[in-house]
Amino acid sequence: MSTYWWLARWSYLTFILREASSVFVGWTVLLTLVQIWALTHGPSANAAFHEWMRYPLMLGVNVIAFLFVLFHAVTWFGLTPKAMVIRVKGQRVPDWAISGPNYAAWVLVSLGVAWVVLRG
């Protein structure tokens, strides 16, 4: 088998990219923990964290991380109906009825977070 087997089909490529995106999900979690640490250690630690986040390298890494986390979430919600088969009266529930509420919850939570962040 070729080393580049995952380039043969779009479904293989999305699988590999979703798996690789886990690194960026981990990065985002780590960054959030560092930010919480900075917040709990006073204004100077928080200011230093924000200054560190202004470096062009950090901005670039975080934009890439954001795109990969977004890709990870979209592809994960798309896989939910395959991983969670629900039957009602012997009939399988349509895919949209399973993944739709996930997307709706994501949008609502995102709007709530945006409201909290942007109102102040």
pLDDT of residue 88: 92
pLDDT of residue 120: 72
Q: Which residues pair with 91 in a beta bridge?
A: 88
The whole-angstrom distance between residue 102's C-alpha and the CA centroid of its chain comes to 13
> What is the mean pLDDT of each successive set of 10 residues along the chain, which is 120 residues long?
89 92 96 97 96 96 96 91 90 92 95 92
Query: Checking DSSP bridges between strand 87-88 and strand 91-92, what pairing results, if any?
Result: antiparallel
Place of tokens 């919480």: 36
Domains assigned to the chain? 5-118 (1.20.1300.10)
Element (H, E) at 92: strand 91-92
pLDDT of residue 84: 87
pLDDT of residue 109: 96
pLDDT of residue 103: 94
At position 30, the amino acid (one-letter code) is L
pLDDT of residue 64: 96
List the Cα angle 104/110/111 in 5-degree steps. Answer: 90
pLDDT of residue 93: 92
